[in-house]
Amino acid sequence: MTEPAAVVLDSASALDIAQLRHVRPRHWGRIVSATCLLVLLALLVHAFAIGQINWATVGVYLTWPTILAGLLNTIIMSVCAMALGIVLGVAAAVARMSPNPVLRSTAIGYAWLFRGTPVILQLLLWFNLALIFPVLGIPGLWSARAVTVITPFAAALLGLGLNEGAYVSEIVRAGLLSVDAGQYEAAKSIGMSHSLSLRRIILPQAMRVVVPPLGNQFITLVKTTSLASVIEYAELLHNAENIYYSNAKVMELLFVAAFWYLVVVTALSFGQAVLERRFARGIARAR
Amino acid sequence: MTPIVSAVKVGKSFGTVQALSDITMDVAAGEVVCLIGPSGSGKTTFLRCINQLERFDSGALFLEGELVGYRRAGDRLHPLAEAQIAQQRRATGMVFQRFNLFPHLTALGNITEGPVQVLRQRPAEAAEHARSLLAQVGLSHKADAYPSQLSGGQQQRVAIARALAMRPRLMLFDEPTSALDPELVGEVLAVMRDLAERGTTMITVTHELSFAREVGHRVIFMDGGRVVETGPARELLSNPQEARTRGFLAAVLS
């Protein structure tokens, strides 16, 4: 097979050639791989459609009161643990950057301890706190039996929130380090105290760097709340399990739980996009 | 009349490096003082000591008669608490070489931030003052622009307005035109000249000798952390007495 003849320019044909229609290149590889993927996807859908799963049951349990109660508990726990995590994380990040060695090492130790042990172990520790401290309280002021104070909610909040704070502290620290030192000086030069300059000048700029990994962290947390099922916290997965223990519709209820986790995580991703736009103000390349 | 700035044997060391030694000078109200000298001569460090971005560690520095950064207890000087230092800083406005505008706030937001957050002015009142300052630096039309949308010269003019918004008794300029493209230097110097004509007390670290000659009342030449020579601007620049001053001026002007 011979190569197609190259188009040779001579003065007579140049104008004709310039008027020809340009054909776009065809990407055969892309077309083939896309077709393969679509076929595989169709096979997967088909398999689930004819599989031993009762989709009607999935539909019924999607809005089952116990499931919705579990969903609500999952959302409440995620929001509370994240709020606790952000408060602790910001405090630990600021402490970590302090010139005071005691503050700095405390912050380092905190991150080391809580990042270094599995969350499920931390949850179990908090839940069983009564084994070492039967009575909690401030001597002379207030005290209560640990088993009544450390409810599944309290144990899950402490376990997840403290663990979250350890991760958030590193994210916030990265954000603080990303702000130019000149910004601290400019804030001081207009008479701002350290805390005011952090709140008004430094943190708003750090947020631009902090929001994407923090969103990631929040999404991880929503799913990690399912671990609280081991300490009897009535979150989404825990309630789904309780239902299938009694009716044996295991896959149907797992699908129901998966559906709601996806809904929550999708909503969070939208929220994150809004926050990212909010904190990109004044930055030329806001992507 | 009490001088605005009164430095008596001010010294500062960074570890083993003596950055400032025995700096003694007065700056009177309405005076424009230009600090010149080779890099590393301590002129920027001295400026930063005045508004306590650096802490001097010997001697005494007074702002309008008030000891800066320390309180006296017996025969010792103890450093002030952070809140008191912040309070003292309000008396001085600082303009940085690299502008250091707040990138997440508009030009107007940059200017009103201090008055609203630190001086607790009402936002409307602060905005009104900010608009008049923007007019003063010729940027009325840029009130809603973010720093990233402004040229270097415009950013520096906003930075000057931001410092003025605190109604400081003294303005400090740290090489305000060194980071600018050459064609933008003039607009910033014009704003500074205007300030000088309004009677603003200014201390400027600068390499713009023509500005020092035309606008400065007094020039102080520093080298090796010491004041080498001080005198009326025109006199010192055209007829320096010290060999080191002559050497520096010859090198800069050549």
- Reading phi first (left if > 0) and then psi (alpha if -120 to 50, else beta), residue B120 is in left
Q: Name the closest residue on chain A to residue B115, using Cα atoms.
A: A190
Neighbour count for residue B136 (Cβ, 10 Å) = 17
B148 in any annotated domain: yes
Tell me the chain A residues in contact with residue B118 when contact means C-beta distances shorter than 8 Å: 190-192, 196
B123 in any annotated domain: yes
For chain A, the residues whose C-beta falls within 8 A of a C-beta of chain B are 180, 182-183, 185-194, 196, 200-201, 204-205, 279, 281-284
Q: What is residue B1's predicted lDDT score, i.e. its pLDDT?
A: 79
pLDDT along chain A (287 residues), means of 10: 67 78 89 95 90 86 92 94 95 92 94 92 90 80 79 92 94 94 95 92 92 92 92 91 90 93 94 88 58
Q: What is residue B76's predicted lDDT score, i.e. its pLDDT?
A: 93
Positions in chain B whose pLDDT score sits under 50: none
Query: How many distinct structural domains can be found in chain B?
Result: 1
B17 in any annotated domain: no
Tell me the chain A residues in contact with residue B51 when contact means C-beta distances shorter than 8 Å: 189
Tell me the chain B residues in contact with residue A210 when contact means C-beta distances shorter than 8 Å: none
Rounded Cα distance between B118 and B137, Å, is: 23
Task: Give pLDDT tens digits for B111-170.
Answer: 999 999 999 999 999 999 999 999 999 999 999 999 999 999 999 999 999 999 999 999
Query: Long-range CB contacts (< 8 A, 24+ apart) of A245-252?
Result: A249/A54, A249/A57, A249/A61, A251/A53, A252/A53, A252/A54, A252/A57, A252/A58, A252/A61
Q: What is residue A6's predicted lDDT score, i.e. its pLDDT?
A: 72
| Among candidates A191, A194, A201 on the partner chain, residue whose Cβ is nearest the Cβ of B89 | A191
Residue B138 CB partners (closer than 8 Å, separation 6+): B157, B187, B191
Q: What is residue A287's predicted lDDT score, i.e. its pLDDT?
A: 38
Q: Name the closest residue on chain A to residue B146, using Cα atoms.
A: A282
Residue ranges of domains in chain A = 64-279
B135 in any annotated domain: yes
What are the φ and ψ backbone dihedral angles of B193, each rounded to 5 degrees?
Answer: -60, -45
User: Any idea which fold A64-279 has?
Assistant: MetI-like fold (1.10.3720)
**What are B18's strand-pairing partners?**
B13
- SS3 string, B74-136, reads CCEEEECCHHHHHHHHCCEEEECCCCCCCCCCCHHHHHHHHHHHCCCCCHHHHHHHHHHHHHH
User: Which domain range does residue B153 map to?
Assistant: 102-167
Neighbour count for residue B172 (Cβ, 10 Å) = 27
Q: What is residue A284's predicted lDDT score, i.e. its pLDDT?
A: 57
The interface predicted TM-score of the complex, written ipTM, equals 0.92
Q: What is residue A3's predicted lDDT score, i.e. its pLDDT?
A: 67
B226-232/B218-223 β-pairing: antiparallel
| Among candidates B82, B93, B103 on the partner chain, residue whose Cβ is nearest the Cβ of A282 | B103
Q: What is residue A1's predicted lDDT score, i.e. its pLDDT?
A: 52
Q: What is residue A286's predicted lDDT score, i.e. its pLDDT?
A: 40
